[in-house]
Amino acid sequence: MKKTKWLIYTVLIGMIPFLIRSFIALIDNTATIQYWINETDFIVLGLVLNLTNINELEDKDFEDKIWKTRNIGFSVISIALFAAILAIVTYSDFKANPDLNKTTVKACSIALALVSFLFSYSIYNRLNKIAK
């Protein structure tokens, strides 16, 4: 049941910006793929996933305390990385001619969000097994 709640309450909430952008892209004939696939949406998903990892693990006692510490540590590092990428993207939006390769940032954001999804899934998979 934990995984189902995680999927509904965390993943879908984290995907709200992407889902809204997808809806807009469907009804707007002028929307391009660059508009539809936006790095900020994937950054938000990664932030939400890692924040929920910390929240879920922080208040629980585990026999394997090293596992808990490593997972919280990885989530904190991931949050810092996502925040840095978000700052770079936000800063580049203010410049008329940004010196930023948006394609690379977009690919990194998607890849990091996918890694965060798999990491978060593994945490909730283990929590689901412990609960049974």
**What DSSP element (H or E) covers 41?**
helix 39-58
Q: What is the pLDDT of residue 113?
A: 97
Residue 61: half-sphere exposure toward Cβ, Cα within 13 Å:
0
Structural domains in the chain (count): 1
Residue 32 CB burial class (10 angstroms; 0-12, 13-18, ≥19) = exposed
Percent of the chain scored above 70 by pLDDT? 97
Give CA 1 to chain center in angstroms: 21
Q: Provide the greatest CA pair distance for the chain.
A: 55
Name the pLDDT band for 1 (thresholds 50, 70, 90).
low
Which residues constitute the domain of residue 67? 2-131
State yes or no: pLDDT of 27 exceeds 80: yes
Reported as a single tens digit per residue, the pLDDT across 43-59 is: 999 999 999 999 999 98
